[in-house]
């Protein structure tokens, strides 16, 4: 059996995960994204073993990142019979992903400010 080397997340990676979570990203997506920034590509199993996430957590994170076009996916044939292994790689630069959250936060802030202005105007009438 061919061995492979796994990237284990370090303290810097954990700080990066925390910063992503502060933007509103889920822990699972932040952890998976951080792992993918450290490797060229990885299978779901490699991500699970390296991050401590469970298979369903990785699947949900990958579905979210695929929906946002942040990852590329291709199949790798396995030896013998069985399903091919899905291999993931980051396709969007981290800057683009952070920009997504920045835009989302700005939009939410604008909505909140409009509501505050509306309340101020209504309170002047009362």
Helices (H), 1-126: 11-22, 27-38, 44-51, 55-67, 94-125
Can you give the residue range of the structural domain that contains 6?
1-92
Q: Clarify whether residues 42 and 98 are in a common domain.
A: no
Q: Clarify whether residues 85 and 114 are in a common domain.
A: no
pLDDT digits 0-9 by tens, 1-60 = 344 567 888 899 999 999 999 999 999 999 999 999 999 999 999 999 999 999 999 999
Tokens 């060229």 belong to 40
pLDDT digits 0-9 by tens, 65-83 = 999 999 999 888 877 777 8
Q: Clarify whether residues 21 and 80 are in a common domain.
A: yes
Residue 78 gets the label, from left (phi > 0), alpha (psi -120 to 50) or beta, of beta
Q: Helix, strand or coil for residue 88?
A: strand
Task: Supply the pTM of this predicted model.
Answer: 0.80
Q: Clarify whether residues 4 and 61 are in a common domain.
A: yes
How many C-alpha atoms does 123 have within 13 Å on its Cβ side? 6
Q: Helix, strand or coil for residue 80?
A: coil
CB atoms within 10 A of CB 100: 15
CA pair distance 70, 42, nearest whole angstrom: 14
């Amino acid at each position: 059996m061919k061995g492979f080397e796994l990237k284990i997340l370090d303290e810097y990676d954990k700080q990066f995960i925390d910063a992503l979570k502060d933007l509103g990203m889920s822990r699972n997506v932040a952890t998976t994204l951080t792992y993918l920034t450290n490797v060229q590509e990885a299978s779901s199993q490699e991500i699970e073993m390296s991050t401590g996430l469970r298979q369903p957590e990785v699947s949900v994170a990958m579905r979210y990142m695929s929906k946002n076009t942040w990852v590329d996916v291709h199949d790798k044939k396995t030896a013998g019979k069985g399903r091919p292994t899905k291999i993931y790689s980051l396709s969007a630069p981290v800057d683009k992903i952070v920009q997504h959250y920045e835009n989302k936060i700005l939009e939410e802030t604008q909505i909140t400010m409009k509501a505050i202005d509306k309340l101020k105007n209504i309170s002047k009438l009362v």
